[in-house]
Amino acid sequence: MMKSIAFLFFLSIPYFLLAQETKPKDDAGQMGGISGFFETYNPVNFPAGANGWWHLLDVRHSNVNNNFAMQFAGSFFDQNLWFRKTNNVPNTEWSRVLTETNGNLNGKLYMLTSGGQNFFTGHQAGGTYSFPGGIFKAITDNPYGQMNVFYEGVAGGVTNFTVRADGQGYFAAGLGIGTQNPAYKLTVAGGDIKAYNFDHNSGVTIGAEAPERPRIGFHASDNSRRFRIEMNSINSDYERLGFFSLNGGQSPEQEVFSINKNGNLGIGTPLPVSKLHIAGDGFITLGSYDTSNGVKGIHFAGFRDVVPNYFGASIEAVPEWLCCGYPGAGYPGIKNIALNFNVHSDPGLADSKLTAMSIRPNGNVGIGTITPEEKFTVNGKIKANEIRVNGSGAPDYVFEPGYKVETLEALESYIKANKHLPEVPSAKEFERDGMAIGEMNKLLLKKIEELTLYIIDGRKQNLTRDRLLLDQKAKITELEQILKAQKK
């Protein structure tokens, strides 16, 4: 419609030029005017903001007593063209006529429609579409300008969304992909979200493996999914967040560890029964590790690892036949597993691993030895502030009235024959078998108590002997006095 009006206007120009001359007219809405070409330096009822010199083409009704006119106007100093029909209203608003130069529109396009109508409808004819052709295309010479907005949605004076020339966008509420009712800032329905950087294959996908199984997938450059994080068994006792891996090429991925709704962490098991539940073979390693020795355990890297991958310390579960010379080689069953605590006596030497302590399957503990024969065996010296032993069976019975000690003569004979006290092991027996500290202390206490009895008995004998000597001395004195008296 606008193009047709402009076309008729330009066709009529030659006739007006032949019949009319340009006259001054300040008020474009003045009633009773005549048709013609006009100019003004003080525009009134011209387009909003008009000032300075303006052209006016005014086509009037033949009845000069009304104010019906079709008018075109334009400033002397730009290429904008304005049009209106006054409809008997002198201040009727003007509409700008869009003009084109070399395929480019001069000025901005503003569309006004009533509620329920489309602002713009484009239809690309044909059954096929090819990029980059499109119904609408916006181009800017400064793609990095943050203020270069291609699209902007405004309602009630509030900007609800924008699409900028630098590729950024803004949405005040939610963006829905695959849904017309986004419940969140970004809602994607009916498919996965994929983010990638360097190629179209490697990247991260967000979606669902199945109903009630939301997940995040991690893809390699060949588009194979190597890892995924997934929620499983929702609303059940086994509800958990699982971490899956291809695990050497297995497909689908295997669940390698998980965290359940109680906070239990499972490694090698999807159903952890404790705060940390580790299942399967292998090491729990802090630092570098070496699996060549065939044992399982916890390894702690020292301050100086020895190439290749030797440890500063380790706790290992070792089959007895592998480490300690016990029978059963080739059958490392759980019933004969020892627990060894190892250190490096010299971190600079690869062969300096030393088993500092060992716990055998029978419960015997060895320090400095891997073959403890007792519940606690130490190959070396022991230093302690205090050692307490079981005090039951103390030999207080020695002081009971009915207890009889050997005579000194019998004891002397025994010592001469055996070269040690009765009940006390010989030197060879001590060397061969050792002796329990508690038993030794009780035996020594018994011998001390027996010695005490010998001392008490000897004192009694000495007292009796002293009284006898005193009596004998008194009698001798008495006899001496009698003899002296007889001599007189």
Tell me the pLDDT of the chain averaged across its residues.
80
Residue 304 has pLDDT above 50, yes or no: no
252 preceded by a cis bond (ω within 30 of 0): yes
Residue 215 has pLDDT above 80, yes or no: yes
CB 182 within 8 A of CB 188: no
Q: Does some domain include residue 168?
A: no
* Residue recorded with tokens 């995924």: 228
CB 306 within 8 A of CB 293: no
Assess whether 266 and 355 both reside in one domain.
Answer: no
Range of the domain at 357: 284-378
The H or E element containing residue 38 is strand 36-40
What is the pairing mode between strands 365-367 and 254-260? Answer: unpaired
For residue 12, the one-letter residue type is S
Assess whether 362 and 274 both reside in one domain.
Answer: no
C-alpha span between 293 and 404 (Å, rounded): 63
Residue, of 131 and 98, whose pLDDT is higher? 98
Cβ burial of 310 (10 Å; 0-12, 13-18, 19+) is buried
Note the pLDDT of residue 146: 55
- pLDDT per residue as tens digits for the range 317-348: 776 655 554 444 444 444 467 888 888 766 56
Mean pLDDT of 167-172: 81
Mean pLDDT of 410-425: 91
Note the pLDDT of residue 75: 95
Angle at the Cα of 170 from the Cα atoms of 166 and 175, rounded to 5 degrees = 120
C-alpha span between 69 and 87 (Å, rounded): 7
Cβ burial of 96 (10 Å; 0-12, 13-18, 19+) is middle
Task: Grade residue 262 by pLDDT with cuts at 50, 70 and 90.
Answer: very high
Assess whether 273 and 293 both reside in one domain.
Answer: no
Residue 184 has pLDDT above 90, yes or no: no
CB 233 within 8 A of CB 239: yes
Assess whether 229 and 259 both reside in one domain.
Answer: yes
Overall residue count recorded for the chain in this entry: 488
* Residue recorded with tokens 């019933």: 335
DSSP code at position 265: E
Q: Which of 57-61, 173-177, 300-304 is modeled with the greatest confidence?
A: 57-61
What tokens appear for 330 in the block? 């080739």
Assess whether 8 and 96 both reside in one domain.
Answer: yes
The H or E element containing residue 207 is strand 203-210
Assess whether 302 and 263 both reside in one domain.
Answer: no
Q: Which of 87, 105, 123 is the last residue of a domain?
A: 105
Note the pLDDT of residue 70: 94
Q: Which of 105, 132, 159 is the last residue of a domain?
A: 105
Assess whether 411 and 341 both reside in one domain.
Answer: no
Q: Does some domain include residue 483?
A: no
For residue 382, the one-letter residue type is I
Note the pLDDT of residue 413: 92
- pLDDT per residue as tens digits for the range 108-159: 666 666 666 666 677 767 666 555 556 666 667 766 655 566 677 888 888 8
Q: Does some domain include residue 488?
A: no
Assess whether 198 and 273 both reside in one domain.
Answer: yes
Q: Does some domain include residue 441?
A: yes
Assess whether 274 and 348 both reside in one domain.
Answer: no
Note the pLDDT of residue 331: 46
- pLDDT per residue as tens digits for the range 430-484: 888 888 888 888 889 998 988 988 898 889 888 999 899 999 999 999 898 888 8
C-alpha span between 62 and 23 (Å, rounded): 19
C-alpha span between 326 and 306 (Å, rounded): 30
Q: Does some domain include residue 348?
A: yes
Q: Does some domain include residue 417?
A: yes
Residue closest to 71 by CA, chosen among 49, 51, 56, 90: 56
The long-range contacts involving 244-252, CB below 8 angstroms and separated by at least 24 positions, are none
CA 282, 285, 288, 290: dihedral to nearest 10 degrees?
-30
Residue closest to 377 by CA, chosen among 385, 369, 389, 386: 369
Residue closest to 341 by CA, chosen among 294, 401, 292, 297: 297
Q: Which of 378, 404, 435 is the last residue of a domain?
A: 378
Assess whether 352 and 400 both reside in one domain.
Answer: no
Percentage of the chain lying above the pLDDT 70 cut: 74
Assess whether 10 and 97 both reside in one domain.
Answer: yes
> 193: helix, coil or strand?
strand
Q: Does some domain include residue 451?
A: yes
C-alpha span between 475 and 287 (Å, rounded): 97
Residue 259 has pLDDT above 80, yes or no: yes
C-alpha span between 265 and 284 (Å, rounded): 15
CB 231 within 8 A of CB 215: yes
Mean pLDDT of 406-419: 91
Assess whether 374 and 300 both reside in one domain.
Answer: yes
C-alpha span between 204 and 175 (Å, rounded): 20
Residue, of 452 and 9, whose pLDDT is higher? 452
CB 89 within 8 A of CB 105: no
Mean pLDDT of 414-428: 91
The region that residue 412 occupies, defined by phi over 0 for left and psi between -120 and 50 for alpha, beta otherwise, is alpha
CB 290 within 8 A of CB 316: no
Residue, of 98 and 4, whose pLDDT is higher? 98
Residue closest to 111 by CA, chosen among 124, 123, 98, 99: 98
Task: Grade residue 99 by pLDDT with cuts at 50, 70 and 90.
Answer: confident
What tokens appear for 257 in the block? 């560890």
Quote the number of domains for the chain.
Answer: 4
Q: Does some domain include residue 16?
A: yes
Residue 63 has pLDDT above 80, yes or no: yes
The H or E element containing residue 157 is none
